[in-house]
Amino acid sequence: MLELGRAIGSPTLTPNGEFVKQIRQVAAHQAPRGSQSSIYGTGPFPLHTDTVFWPTPVRYVILRGYGDTRRSTTVKSFKQMTIQCDSSFPAALHHAVFRVSAGSKSFYCSLRFQHHDDSGWRYDADLMYPVNSAAERVHSELRELVMEGDAAFITWSESMAAVICNWTTLHGRGEEPPNEGLRVIERLYVR
């Protein structure tokens, strides 16, 4: 994974100091406070952007799965998701202000950000809170859209890795299969 990460950018340490983090499904009461597992337990995760609490979210997320890989990872482009909204949605999106809050970190932002000559989107309904009426509207519509089942699915095998552009594509965790065994997703952030 590190070799793949270096081929597309600069692998970046996670907040806890690891390059490759192993993510396992855990019950809500066993999960770190504030994590998606503490909210959703072993259930599906809604579509989201990783590292929304960084000033500039990480550019790529590389994932690799092993163990019981029957559970898929969901993905959907931000543009594809919002194209379903009515014609007044882009104006609301442009004026929406959110407060990102994760632990001791808190700041205000829009969903769209600029980084040098490029731009991207950030969205995580569990870490971003609307602070104006435009954001209330955007938050309400997006919250419904990230839970809808029309996303694409990554079906895992132990010989594959997926590179997700975190600036344009949201990802989540699919439905739990019957009698799920240990499923491990390895994750690497790349700038």
Query: Where are the chain's structural domains?
Result: 2-190
pLDDT at 105: 79
Q: What is the largest CA-CA distance in the chain?
A: 47
Question: Residue 148's pLDDT is what?
Answer: 67
CB-CB neighbours of 170 under 10 Å: 26
Give the model's pLDDT for residue 149: 62
Q: What is the architecture, at CATH level 2, of domain 2-190? A: 4-Layer Sandwich (3.60)
For residues 106 and 109, give the distance between their C-alpha atoms in angstroms, rounded to a whole number.
Answer: 10
Are the CB atoms for 136 and 58 separated by under 8 Å?
no
Q: What is the pLDDT of residue 69?
A: 93
Please report the beta strands in the chain, taking only residues with DSSP state E, as ranges in sequence order: 11-12, 20-24, 45-48, 60-67, 73-77, 98-102, 105-109, 112-115, 118-121, 128-130, 152-154, 162-165, 169-173, 183-190
| Model pLDDT, residue 103 | 74
Can you tell me the distance from the alpha carbon of 114 to that of 88, in angstroms, rounded to the nearest whole number?
A: 22
- How is the chain split among helix, strand and coil, in percent rounded to 5? 20, 35, 45
Q: What is the pLDDT of residue 181?
A: 94
pLDDT by residue, tens only, the chain of 191 residues:
999 999 999 999 988 899 999 999 888 999 888 788 888 999 999 999 999 999 999 999 999 999 999 999 999 999 988 888 889 999 999 999 999 987 777 999 999 999 999 999 999 999 999 999 999 999 999 988 887 667 899 999 888 999 999 999 999 999 999 999 999 999 999 99
Q: Is the entire prediction scored with pTM above 0.95?
A: no
Return the pLDDT at 146. Answer: 81
Residue closest to 42 by CA, chosen among 188, 186, 189, 179: 179
Distance, in Å, from the CA atom of 12 to the CA atom of 6, rounded to the nearest integer, reads 10
